[in-house]
Amino acid sequence: MTNNDTLKKLRVALKLRDDDIVKILELVDFRISKSELGAFFRSEDHPKYVECGDQILRNFLNGLIIHLRGPMPKKENNKPQKKSNN
């Protein structure tokens, strides 16, 4: 199964439109146009088909986590302070 197949299956399963996918990718500061995105969903024998790279799929999955769960809460720094011996 290719990255393109994975992206297609997630789009169908989650009922996402191209606009939704563009917004999800923007959550992780990854910019892509709708026409570039459409090239991933074409059939492999189409002249304008583009193979989906690992970076795009990884950013989509990271953005999807933020989209579904919300942003990760900031961690507080609870490290004890070192005492100075003067």
Residues in the chain: 86
Q: Which residue has the higher pLDDT, 81 or 58?
A: 58
Confidence band for 10, pLDDT divided at 50, 70 and 90:
very high
The pTM score is: 0.79
Lookup: tokens for 40: 């991933």
Q: Which residue has the higher pLDDT, 82 or 57?
A: 57
Span 20-76, pLDDT tens digits: 999 999 999 999 999 999 999 999 999 999 999 999 999 999 999 999 998 777 777
DSSP string of 70-81? -PPPPPP--PPP
- Residue 84: the pLDDT is 60
